[in-house]
Amino acid sequence: MSGVATLTRLGRSEAEDFLFHEAALLDEWRLDDWLALFAEGATYEVPPANADDGVRSAESLFYIADDYERLGYRVARLNDKGAHAEYPRSRCVRMISNVRILNQTAAGCEVSSVFITFRSKADVTDTYFGRHRHVLRPVGGALKIASKRTALDMSSLRPQGRVSIIV
């Protein structure tokens, strides 16, 4: 794969900084900058709430199962004022913790974390919580997301009912 360098040992604090930066971009609704964190060919998945870890998007209906191209369309749609679910946009604050390096090779690093996202819109505040699993890879001198999987550790989306925000 062209443009992929080898990864020198990524420390937990560097992984945390990357994940905190990603969360800040989403909180600030800087979706184009957030999309730029993803490597071409990257995937982003959000399986159904309380799904087993092994569930695959090819075999089950996911809330989000985007390849890089679909993720670009999602960002463009959410940036459009015609995206009624997010216009005016929700106010969100994301908290990331328990960051752990799970596996590291010369080609990339698998990082897990837990999150809480508070979403406020129309005088209602919803709370989403769960786990992220990122595979981070160096591309062109920068760290990029090769894949991201967000597992909601909630029994359902009620009363929230939607994931129009990117969790």
**pLDDT tens-digit profile of 1-29?**
344 445 668 899 999 999 999 999 999 99
Give the per-residue pLDDT at 2: 41
CB 160 within 8 A of CB 126: yes
Min mean pLDDT across 15-29, 44-58, 96-110, 137-151 is at 44-58
For the chain, which residues make up each domain, given as ranges? 12-152
> Is 12-152 a CATH 3.40.50.300 domain?
no
CB 114 within 8 A of CB 98: yes
What percent helix, strand, coil does the chain show, rounded to 5? 20, 40, 35
Give the per-residue pLDDT at 19: 98
Task: Identify the burial level of 63 via C-beta atoms within 10 angstroms of its C-beta, where 0-12 means exposed, 13-18 middle and 19 or more buried.
Answer: middle
For the chain, the average pLDDT equals 87
Q: Write out the H or E segment, with its range, that includes residue 124.
A: strand 124-139
Residue 119 has pLDDT above 50, yes or no: yes
Residue 66 has pLDDT above 60, yes or no: yes
Average pLDDT (99-120) is 93
Average pLDDT (138-167) is 81
Average pLDDT (56-83) is 87
Q: Which residue has the higher pLDDT, 142 or 87?
A: 142
Q: At 96, list the tokens.
A: 């990331």
Give the per-residue pLDDT at 162: 64
Give the per-residue pLDDT at 89: 83
Give the per-residue pLDDT at 161: 60
Provide the H-helix boundaries in the chain: 12-27, 31-35, 68-79
